[in-house]
Amino acid sequence: MKKQKIGDKEAFTKIVISYENDLYKIARTRLQNDDDISDVFQETIINAFKSIKKLKNTEYFKTWLIRILINNCNSLYSKKKKRKEFFIEDLQEDNYRIEDDFENINGELSFNDMMKILNYDERIAMTLYYSEGYTNKEISKILRTNENTIKARISRAKLKIKKMLREC
């Protein structure tokens, strides 16, 4: 992927569209509302396109784009929190209820079910690890957190999912 290629508006859009599903999953870990996700997508694309020249190594384009997306999601989330526009799901985030409806109760969980079971830190770590295939070290760099913290979050999330699967 050459820098000139990414710098071109059409090529840039094409590349971003190819990450559509991944970006949506990552945004969903923080935001529940599709309108908010659309806003964050727009902001991310504008920010990324404007600062594409700052990207030194185009190999890390996706990681860089994800980093911008996460920053934008977090800032929108904190803005909404300040304005006290809480989402019901966010309020339930830390005290997850077993009686929540799951999409599939035949011992199989979907991505949306995962979102209900886990809290934000676990959701984002698990999505980056299993969906995007990043290593713990890479995730710690993306989230600017300690590598051991990421390991702990992933193992905690696994335990929760295991428990949930047993109960299904």
Partner 1 sequence: MDEFESRLKNYFKKNIDVPNQCKNALRNTLYINKKSKKNYYSFFLRQAITIASVGSVFICGVAFATNFNNIRGFFGLGSRN
Would you tell me which residues interact with partner 1 (CB under 8 A)? 9, 12-13, 16-17, 20-21, 23-25, 27-28, 34-35, 37-39, 41-42, 45-46, 49, 108-114, 126-127, 130-131, 158, 161-162
Q: Which is nearest to 65 in space by CA: 123, 115, 122, 24?
A: 24
Which residue, 38 or 135, has its beta carbon nearer to partner 1? 38
Summarize the chain as % helix, strand, coil (round to 5): 75, 0, 25
> Dihedral sign, CA of 155, 131, 106, 103?
positive
Which residue, 60 or 130, has its beta carbon nearer to partner 1? 130
User: Shortest Cβ distance from residue 74 to partner 1 (Å)?
Assistant: 18
Contact call for residues 143 and 125 (beta carbons, < 8 A): yes
Which residue, 4 or 84, has its beta carbon nearer to partner 1? 4
User: Shortest Cβ distance from residue 56 to partner 1 (Å)?
Assistant: 22
Q: At what angle do helices 61-82 and 20-30 cross, to 10 degrees?
A: 30
Which residue, 80 or 160, has its beta carbon nearer to partner 1? 160
